[in-house]
Amino acid sequence: MIIHLRIWRQEDRTSKGRLVDYTVNEASEHMSFLELLDVLNEQLLQSGDEPVEFDSDCREGICGSCGLMVAGIAHGPQKRTAVCQLHMRSFNDGDTITVEPFRAKAFPIIRDLVVDRSAFDRIIEAHGYVSVTTGSAPDANAIPIPKETVDDAMDYAACIGCGACVAACPNGSASLFTAAKISHLGLLPQGQVEASQRVISMVDQMDAEGFGDCSNYAECEAVCPKGISIQGIARMRRAYMKGVLSA
């Protein structure tokens, strides 16, 4: 198949970017979208041009490195799929596809399609953990946890930290990302001890990073490659109120 691409090129954080047109003549429906970009980059190298920079690593939808706006949608048109697992069979021969970086105030552009998502790490550093040092743990079966509870916690723990939720949100909010960690740890007995401290600290950090507020658009849930539910955001709000009132 032949695929036309309009790709955002930007030299660095401060320079002005623009959309540039390219064509890949030898695309195949079995390729992943990132493999299509690989083929384009080999083409650019052959012609002496600079390749398009984008982040990717595991290419099986789990590391969260990749993330692109494909045809205006974070990770592209296929539901619950990171862009590394989006395959060209989702497109038609002759399509023109626009490719842009994840845009948000808190995700500055580094180059082309690569953005800086280190704000997410700082949110986790703001108490997105259980404070347990190595060696001090009781036996793993000491506290029974209902299967349903662990299954719910796992649904939230599945977050890959890709940032699609932020890119899709009209407010550039990181609420789904933050709520996923708060819900994962908050559902488990191990996370109870520090629950109030955690939610206040993480929410404050989220604000300090320049992410917007949540207005219940639910665009985040729609693009999340792991299908994380916005119920987590409601849970986070309740936990925040509880934490503030008990402080």
Partner 1 sequence: MASRASDPSQSPRLDSKVPSGRLQEKWDIYKNAVSLVSPANKRSHHILIVGSGLAGASAAATLAGLGYNVTCFCIQDSPRRAHSIAAQGGINAAKNYPNDGDTVWRLFYDTIKGGDYRSREANVYRLAQVSNNIIDQAVAQGVPFAREYGGVLSNRSFGGAQVSRTFYARGQTGQQLLLGAYQALSHQIAAGRVKMLPRREMVDLVVANGRACGVITRNLLTGELERYAGDAVLLCTGGYGNAYYLSTNAKNSNVTAAWRCHKRGAFFANPCYTQIHPTCIPVSGDYQSKLTLMSESLRNDGRVWVPKDPEDKRAPELIPEDARDYYLERRYPSFGNLVPRDVASRASKKECDEGRGVGETRLAVYLDFRHSIERLGEQTIRERYGNLFEMYQRITGDDPYHTPMRIYPAVHYTMGGLWVDYELQSTIPGLFVLGEANFSDHGANRLGASALMQGLADGYFVIPYTLGAYVAGLGSSDPIPLDDDSFDATEQEASDRIDRILKNKGDKSPTEFHRELGHLLWDHVGMSRTSSGLQSSLEAIHRLEDEFWERVCVPGSANRYNKNLEFAGRVADFIELGALMARDALRREESCGGHFREEYQTPEGEAARNDEDYADVAAWEYNGRDPKLHLEQLTFENVHPSQRSYK
In order, the DSSP letters of 3-50 are EEEEEEE-SSSSSPPEEEEEEESS--TTSBHHHHHHHHHHHHHHTTPP
Count of residues that bind partner 1 according to CB under 8 A: 76
* Binders in 159-188 for partner 1, by CB under 8 A: 160-161, 184-185, 188
E strands, 101-238, are 109-111, 114-115
218 near partner 1, rule: CB under 8 A? no
d(CA 80, CA 91): 17
Among 63, 200, 218, 234, which residue sits at the site for partner 1 (rule: CB under 8 A)? 63
Q: Residue 28 or 98: which CB sits closer to partner 1?
A: 28
Listed ranges 15-23, 96-104, 146-154, 234-242: which one lies at the site for partner 1 (CB under 8 A): 146-154
- Enumerate the β-bridge partners of residue 74: 69
Residue 238 CA, chain-centre distance (Å), reads 24
Q: Residue 19 or 137: which CB sits closer to partner 1?
A: 137
Among 19, 145, 208, 241, which residue sits at the site for partner 1 (rule: CB under 8 A)? 145
Inter-CA distances, 100 with 58, 104, 105, 160, 176, Å: 21, 12, 15, 20, 22
Q: Residue 159 or 169: which CB sits closer to partner 1?
A: 159
Among 14, 136, 216, 246, which residue sits at the site for partner 1 (rule: CB under 8 A)? 136
* Mask for 91-130, x = binds partner 1 (CB under 8 A): -------------------xx--x-xxx-xx--xxxxxxx
The distance of closest approach from Cβ of residue 217 to partner 1 in the complex, given in angstroms and rounded to an integer, is 26
Q: Residue 50 or 207: which CB sits closer to partner 1?
A: 50
Among 19, 60, 77, 241, which residue sits at the site for partner 1 (rule: CB under 8 A)? 60
Q: Residue 136 or 246: which CB sits closer to partner 1?
A: 136
The distance of closest approach from Cβ of residue 151 to partner 1 in the complex, given in angstroms and rounded to an integer, is 8
- In a 13 Å sphere around the CA of 79, the CA atoms on its Cβ side amount to 5
At position 25, the amino acid (one-letter code) is N
Among 6, 9, 22, 38, which residue sits at the site for partner 1 (rule: CB under 8 A)? 38
Q: Residue 133 or 246: which CB sits closer to partner 1?
A: 133
Residue 204 CB-density burial (10 A; 0-12 exposed, 13-18 middle, 19+ buried): middle
231 near partner 1, rule: CB under 8 A? no
Ramachandran sector of residue 64 (left: φ over 0; alpha: ψ -120 to 50; beta: rest): left
62 near partner 1, rule: CB under 8 A? yes
Element (H, E) at 222: helix 219-223
25 near partner 1, rule: CB under 8 A? no
208 near partner 1, rule: CB under 8 A? no
Residue 138 CB-density burial (10 A; 0-12 exposed, 13-18 middle, 19+ buried): exposed
